[in-house]
Structure 1
Amino acid sequence: MHRLVSTIALTALAACCTAAFAATPNDQAPHGRLPAWAVPQSYQLSFRVDPSQAQFTGTTTIKVALKAAADHVWLDGNGLVVSKVAVTGADGKTLDGKYVAVSPKEGVSRIDFGSVLKPQLLTLTIDYSAPFNEQLQGLYKVSRAGVPYAMTQMEPISARFAFPGFDEPGFKTPYDITLTIPNSQVGVANTRQISETAAGDGFKTLKFEQTRPLPTYLVAFAVGPWDIAKGPDISPDDFRKDAITLRGVAATGEAHRMQHVLSETPSIIHTLENYYGFGYPFGKLDLLAAPDFSAGAMENPGLVTFRDWLLLLDPDSPEQYVRGSFNVTAHELAHQWTGDTVTLAWWDDIWLNEAFATWMQQKVTMKVHPEYRADLDRISGAEGAMRNDSLNSARKIRQPITGNGDIETAFDGITYQKGAAVIGMFEGYVGEDTFQQGMRSYIQAHKFGNATAKDLVGSIATAAHQGDAFKHAFNSFLDQSGVPYVQAKVEQKNGKTEVQLSQSRYLPLGSTGDMGRVWGIPVCVRYASTAGAKSSCMMLDKATGSMTLADAAPSAWVMPNADARGYYRFSLDKAGWTNLAQHVDSLSNGEQLAYADSVDAGFRKGEWTAAEAMAALQPLTKVNVGEVAVAPLSTLEWIYRYEATNDAQRAKVVEWVKAAYLPRMQQLGYQRKAGELSADTLLRTQLAAALALNFKVPEVRAALLTQGDAALAKKADGHLNLQAADPDLLGVALGVAVQERGKPAVDALIAELPQTTSPDLRNAMLEGLSNVEQPAQADQVRDFALTKDVKVGEMAMILRGGQETTESRNSLWQWFTAHDAQVLGRTGSFASGMLPRLVGGGSCSTAEADRLQAYFTPRLKDIAGSDRGLAQTREQTVLCAALKAKQDPSKI
């Protein structure tokens, strides 16, 4: 069956790619997708890896279906030193090939045959060496406690740093992986190890089972003195007859800290299997805690890799880490179906991987840990995406790919959170059971192959008995950027209550975007009826529409986004807002979040004064659910940071914040209590950070400074007493101490960090350092971020600090413009699209926008993906300046 499925998938792939591309001329290097007249059928990857060395060697054998007569093939390889290429034809004869690195910047290479070969099945064997990557891409090396480890991160287009191949998601083939490693080392890969043989000179060779068909970006392995922790087997069920072997993989001495995550994993797998009606297909499952990592985690089938702090948990680990661990694990394991079993055909459909994994993660979390309130996380995530999606420069969910930079910057809130929200909205429209039927059909139809948005939307439409109108509505959210703005007005007509609806594109004050945009929006309205609250829904696919509210109570309040299921913002006339504000406690928690977001949206359009927005948001601060209670803080922080221009105005905002939140902060206290609800623990952390660092409330800062001072005191062994602070508040406490104590606190943390391996303690110290305010010490901390004592994946935690005031942003700007080459040299291309935001985020003047534009424009060609980062950061700065100019601080 495996072989049959592979053949079917490859045949479909070849047909798809042949239709989509013409053969690339012999003298023209491809940019973007490789030509489809050479299609890989399988790989044998052999690596000799010693993490103590500077480089590795490999032999890659690829069976390639040559579909047109040619004297070469194009493939991907970057930084590889090729010593030999053998080309074996279908007749078994072998000739010497030549490897040519044509475009090192893009990683495109060519193998010349020396003569024209007719269409046939070729075998390419390539011997090469390459340095371990230093930017957490491809096959890279990191150290923990001075001990080196080697591991992979191939997504999105980094497999080409590790081996030559066809580095695109549309090419799925089986892989045979062999690792030759020192006898003292442990090797793991996507599949089970099936043999170990002596290789001489203190080395051994490990061979692994052949994989299912995979794209290059899901190939994974790791070599080092890893600890292995055995987890519980994941028992057979209705969809899988064999148990799944579950293991945790961590650096030496750390695997014992993985038992919590391993104990949670079976419930996640069973929940996913029950939803999809399809058993986990990849045999074994290893979860690996990476000592350094560029992403949060990576869904490699059989070997899922994570930032170490997500897996290494103790009984006193911060609650946000415990929740984050479950959510990220659920996300990556959801990928085993959407992404790994069914893979996008090209990077413009990365939402098929990431949006669906985000949406499914939330369903899993709600089932297994309902107390984590993933339903509210979905809404908050969507609202976060809306802030970016409100930009004229925002990406589409299905953004055309024009180069590698577009691939690398596609992993953003539009793909993840907007995509998940749109999925949830249409799931609500057709019904959860119907949507599940469509998803099951989609997985079955494309298992171990590739799919497109058309395939997915078509499968849902078929299950729901929907036609072109439904597909058009769904695609209207995929193929155009922007946030719909639904304006609602209640009217009485012929003795009936109606709500008149209109839609346009939401644009904040100062935007130059076009408001005249129409979506197919499933709009649901909740309202007060004579028998309690009711809901009414319609598909708003024109600029205007209306619905009758059956049994509406006289002067009924109307919530234009029932259950906050819709991906849109809403507005009401003045009477509608007044009425709704008086009934905030009648709304669900999700609706309360949507209410807060739409008030903020009105404020950012210039339709609300600061005082009006603060009054409208105030009732939410009394809500018992923490996620809702803290929702107003982002609006208040903007007013405090940008609108309040003197101490009296800032004091007025702080008094509002203190009245709203200080009693709850004092009730929670500053230490985790035995047996307290996890929601209280998390709320304590959120309030402490906001009150102490964002609004500088004296009472909270004093309490946290006591903890920060205790943590900075040295123990008898010379190390800092970091355990003296509450583990959830340690980072905030150290931030306050750095601001209050200055250089001695900074020096102490810089000295301690290299001696600390525990990731949660490292993160807390980095958080403390990121809050430094004095310019000289800020430069000291940033210089420290460029050293080997700070991991590559940790750099942003420090560098994203210093955006709060004009003075601190100027300090950051001066430092960055003197060190940009060093920053880019460490972080690499995957992070380069974020550089404009890293240095320009938080800016709020046309002068700051102009200097950002002037600095990055001549550098765009050398920093992949930075054009989008520049456009969005500049636009955000201009919009902030426009709103600041509109608001009157005397009316706070």
Structure 2
Amino acid sequence: MHHLVRSLAMTALAVCCSAALASPQADQAPHGKLPSWAVPQAYKLAFKVDPAQQTFTGTTTIKVDLKQASDYLWLDGRDLNVSKVTITDAAGNAHDGKYMAVAPNEGVSRIDFGSTLQPQSLTLTIDYTAPLNQQLQGLYKVSHAGTPYAMTQMEPISARFAFPGFDEPGFKTPYDITLTVPSDLAAVANTKQISETSAGDKWKTLSFARTQPLPTYLVAFAVGPWDIVNGPDIAPSDYRSDVLQLRGIAAHGEGHRMQHVLSETPSIIHTLENYYGFGYPFGKLDLLAAPDFSAGAMENPGLVTFRDWLLLLDPDSAAMYVRSSFDVTAHELAHQWTGDTVTLAWWDDLWLNEAFATWMQQKVTMKVHPEYRADLDRITQAQGAMQSDSLVSARKIRQPITGNGDIETAFDNITYRKGAAVLGMFEGYVGEDTYQKGMRAYIQAHKFGNATADDLVNAIATAANQGDTFKHAFNSFLDQSGVPYVQTKLEQKGGKTILHLSQSRYLPVGSTGDAKRVWGIPMCVRYGTADGSKVQCEMFDKATGTMELADAGNATWVMPNAYARGYYRFSLAKSQWADLTKHIASLSDTEQLAYADGIDAGFRHGDLDAADALAALKPLAGASTREVVIAPLETVAWIYRHEAQTDAQRAKVVDWVSKAYLSRMEQLGYHRKAGEADGDSILRTALAHALALDFKLPDVRAALLKQGNAALTKKADGHLDLAAADADLLGSALAVAVQEHGKPAVDALIAELPQTTDPALRNAMLAGLSATDTPELANQARDFALTKQVKVGEMAAILRGSRDTPAAREALWQWFTAHYDQVVARTGSFASGVLPRLAGGGGCSTAEADRLQAYFKPRLKDITGADRGLAQTSEQTLLCATLKAKQNPAAILR
């Protein structure tokens, strides 16, 4: 899944039927895993769904292996109004049972048999009704152009909203799905439709082929007036004998915009099949553009669902959308092997799904679209993960699960991006071919079943002929949080060049963490020689060590993360930083990214001041590679936003930015050129946004304002002329226009958004509304975010904005605390974990951290997962405040 946000305070489940037994207590319910003495073997799911209604009905039939004598069993169900439970024993005898919601807020329920049953195969049949969810969970309702649709999002633990069952990844069974829907609507599910029959006046029943064994979180279907368009058939491969049917599913009137993504999909499937040596096993493949969605996309086998803007593309769509479409599609299709064919046994190994899909997507992208430079994406994403991983409150990749909140907050930078970086690091250590051999063995050994971290690590170790040292090194990154910090010191001794190494946990200035920690780091060092440079690698798995640099010479320079493949940060003495800066042209673009991160790490560690950082980062702005060009901007923006105190200091930073980037911006221009590389389009977008909105360079703002004014001009039909701006720059242009014109621009966008169905245009308007820079207008935009004119999945786009200054954050805080209940009532999946960040993210003072703690601590009992979000947002706020106090603003003028 590519990843908003989880609701609270659900209503209690209704109690059904006969067999009057004493009600069990909530403290009797299992927390976390269900007991293993009742195991599902197969499901039949029958739903009657009309998206125009508020509720649906269902009948769930589960074949269960009862492994011990009992008069009850536990299962998951939430907000289900159960009317009847029938228990059929192994002899075919049927009697009524009783369904009770024991822990409604967790979705844990119990079925009482009425008498003790011996171990045997049982069949449970459960009839119920339930609401079509309003918060993008389970079976939920959404609309496009005023027309209702119903669709599913079950991951991680939302299947229990749609049907009663054993809602855990370790329980994989086949499913038979039937959907009874209005006759004029279409319906799709994980598998091919195999029959259609009349179901009475204006209804029909559709049956679908039995699925492969799946966990509950991968069950998927959708009902509505969908456009269903055929893509190119995916030809057989060396590993799949059948032609694979490919279709696009979109809201009515949008299907024609699916052709680009459908044309790209066959190359992705073939690349994955060739890598894993295992054919796509799910029979057909539909890609569905969801009108509203809580995640970025979801890997349901046979029916992959996406936010609509990722799939609905036109010839002039923003380059960022086109590239993101490919990347996310590759991610979700990679899941068909890691996640769908082989599934994690429990949520502590979510990385086996998400880290692998992220890592594999990057491999696919490098193969099919090498110009996208996914190798650089992996590095920049790993560096973003390092920022999160520098917190004491950071999760481990393999974090123990203590409750539903831990499951919901596991979908983060650590799982996805740190996990992918660690996989890439150990792939580099053993070699790509060896790693592939291990991955193929892993898939074959666990196909259509479940796996754990040990299964994967052992498969790689076996393929590489590695023993316990390798496994310990791999597990050192899985089972402990934090970023390794490799400190280096050069010494000339006896005619040899020795690099002294020590490792600890990287902690920013002000951190309360314990730095004493050791990893098994596959470490490579590049260093200067008389004829260029050399690379030397070793497994550094002790607190201290040395590396002899052969042929280094007395005047060598050192890059302690050659290829930027290692998931670690490094430090150098100031003289060594100066030497490395002089030789920056000798580094690859990947290593230049590691250099940029090293400077930022040294700055946040308190070793470098603003002048040091600005001088060291300056050469990168002139690089030829987009990712390197923009690498300094986050560090420079922090200095501008938090450290610069006087007009002279701010002007000095703006002057640095102007000299570093303005000529590049002018060279790119403010409109896409015919035939230009998409990397140039994306660089234009990034620079225009940063220069106009972060640093407010007048020339760039004027150019964007011109486009924003044109976009806000009304056409003859009364709509805004949003096509008048460059598609890549529309969001930034509207943001500048909102800041320059104030209320008239905000009013125009609020009036236009409900009349616009195009998701890219909606995203641009949301970006404009999020850029308001007065409390009154920011509150107007936030109030609008709470209305049904803004989709649930779009709310955060507005709420994340307008927080760059203390005054803006104060206004946000006052609004958020006054509207807390309304925000919670609307937000969808994953909301609880991000609520503290929505309210207090970007803070940089002790007072802001204190008020965040005081407000949210009493509410933690009601919002699962918010404890980690609170800890991390508070810690980030305090670290920002400490760094601000540590740095001397006068250094900016040095």
Q: Deviations over 1:71-110 (max 9, x none)?
A: 0010000000000000000000001000001111000000
Aligned to 1:747: 747
Paired residues, number: 869
Aligned to 2:205: 205
Q: Deviations over 1:767-794 (max 9, x none)?
A: 0000001111111100000000000000
Tell me how far 1:828 sits from its aligned partner. Answer: 3.8
The 5-angstrom pairing of residues 472-551 of structure 1 reads 472-551=472-551
| Kept in 2: contact 1:489–1:501 (CA 8 A) | yes
Distance of 1:52 and 1:147 partners within structure 2: 8
The 5-angstrom pairing of residues 246-645 of structure 1 reads 246-645=246-645
Tell me how far 1:25 sits from its aligned partner. Answer: 12
Provide structure 2 residue ranges, at least 5 long, that are not aligned to the other structure: 1-23
Choose 523-532 or 277-286, whichever is displaced more: 523-532
Tell me how far 1:26 sits from its aligned partner. Answer: 12
Aligned to 2:108: 108
| Kept in 2: contact 1:297–1:332 (CA 8 A) | yes
Q: Does 1:45 align with 2:45?
A: yes
The residue matched to 1:545 in structure 2 has which SS?
strand
The 5-angstrom pairing of residues 148-297 of structure 1 reads 148-297=148-297
| Kept in 1: contact 2:98–2:113 (CA 8 A) | yes
Provide structure 1 residue ranges, at least 5 long, that are not aligned to the other structure: 1-23
Aligned to 2:861: 861
| Kept in 1: contact 2:509–2:605 (CA 8 A) | yes
**Of the two structures, which has the highest relative contact order with CA contacts closer than 8 Å and spacing of 6 or more?**
2
Q: Deviations over 1:541-591 (max 9, x none)?
A: 100111111222431111100100000001111221111010111101111
Q: Deviations over 1:282-326 (max 9, x none)?
A: 010000000000000000000000000000000110010000000
Distance of 1:169 and 1:599 partners within structure 2: 42
Aligned to 1:91: 91
Tell me how far 1:731 sits from its aligned partner. Answer: 0.3
Distance of 1:491 and 1:679 partners within structure 2: 42
The residue matched to 2:194 in structure 1 has which SS?
strand
Aligned to 1:63: 63
Distance of 1:145 and 1:631 partners within structure 2: 40
Aligned to 1:788: 788
The RMSD of aligned alpha carbons is 1.0
Distance of 2:477 and 2:536 partners within structure 1: 22
1:619 counterpart letter in structure 2: P
Q: Deviations over 1:786-824 (max 9, x none)?
A: 000000000000000011000000000000000011111
The residue matched to 2:243 in structure 1 has which SS?
coil
Q: Does 1:75 align with 2:98?
A: no
Q: 1:361 to 1:623 in 2, by over 3 A?
A: same
1:334 counterpart letter in structure 2: A
The 5-angstrom pairing of residues 714-863 of structure 1 reads 714-828=714-828, 830-863=830-863
Tell me how far 1:27 sits from its aligned partner. Answer: 8.5
1:238 counterpart letter in structure 2: D
Tell me how far 1:533 sits from its aligned partner. Answer: 1.8
The residue matched to 1:155 in structure 2 has which SS?
coil
| Kept in 1: contact 2:793–2:828 (CA 8 A) | no
1:445 counterpart letter in structure 2: A
Q: Deviations over 1:7-46 (max 9, x none)?
A: xxxxxxxxxxxxxxxxx99982101100000000000000
Distance of 2:244 and 2:841 partners within structure 1: 45
Distance of 2:117 and 2:27 partners within structure 1: 16
Distance of 1:530 and 1:363 partners within structure 2: 35
The residue matched to 1:455 in structure 2 has which SS?
helix
- Percentage of matched positions with identical amino acids: 76
Q: Deviations over 1:422-470 (max 9, x none)?
A: 0000000111100000000000000000000000000000000011111
The residue matched to 2:675 in structure 1 has which SS?
coil
| Kept in 1: contact 2:137–2:829 (CA 8 A) | no
Distance of 2:27 and 2:805 partners within structure 1: 54
The 5-angstrom pairing of residues 686-701 of structure 1 reads 686-701=686-701
Q: Deviations over 1:460-487 (max 9, x none)?
A: 0000001111100000000000000001
The residue matched to 1:56 in structure 2 has which SS?
strand
Q: Deviations over 1:820-847 (max 9, x none)?
A: 1111111145211101111111100000
2:567 counterpart letter in structure 1: Y
Distance of 1:323 and 1:228 partners within structure 2: 24
Tell me how far 1:532 sits from its aligned partner. Answer: 2.5
TM-score of the pair, normalised by structure 1: 0.97
| Kept in 2: contact 1:529–1:553 (CA 8 A) | yes
| Kept in 1: contact 2:32–2:404 (CA 8 A) | yes
1:499 counterpart letter in structure 2: L
2:549 counterpart letter in structure 1: L
The residue matched to 1:834 in structure 2 has which SS?
helix
Distance of 2:278 and 2:179 partners within structure 1: 31
The residue matched to 1:671 in structure 2 has which SS?
coil
Tell me how far 1:891 sits from its aligned partner. Answer: 1.4
| Kept in 2: contact 1:226–1:252 (CA 8 A) | yes
The residue matched to 2:808 in structure 1 has which SS?
helix
| Kept in 1: contact 2:297–2:307 (CA 8 A) | yes
Q: 1:98 to 1:846 in 2, by over 3 A?
A: same
Aligned to 2:14: none
Aligned to 1:647: 647
2:598 counterpart letter in structure 1: S
| Kept in 1: contact 2:603–2:609 (CA 8 A) | yes
Distance of 2:740 and 2:828 partners within structure 1: 35
Q: Deviations over 1:477-517 (max 9, x none)?
A: 00000000001112122212121111000000000000000
1:866 counterpart letter in structure 2: A
Distance of 2:81 and 2:531 partners within structure 1: 75
The residue matched to 2:165 in structure 1 has which SS?
coil
| Kept in 2: contact 1:170–1:346 (CA 8 A) | yes
Q: Deviations over 1:150-204 (max 9, x none)?
A: 0000000000000000000000000000000000000000000000000012100
Distance of 2:166 and 2:390 partners within structure 1: 37
Distance of 1:365 and 1:330 partners within structure 2: 7
| Kept in 2: contact 1:829–1:864 (CA 8 A) | no
1:600 counterpart letter in structure 2: D
TM-score of the pair, normalised by structure 2: 0.97
Distance of 2:228 and 2:320 partners within structure 1: 25
Distance of 2:642 and 2:589 partners within structure 1: 29
Aligned to 1:8: none
Distance of 1:829 and 1:753 partners within structure 2: 23
| Kept in 2: contact 1:829–1:863 (CA 8 A) | no
Distance of 1:528 and 1:778 partners within structure 2: 53
Distance of 1:890 and 1:202 partners within structure 2: 75
Aligned to 2:703: 703
Q: Deviations over 1:569-625 (max 9, x none)?
A: 011112211110101111011110010001001000111110010001001011011
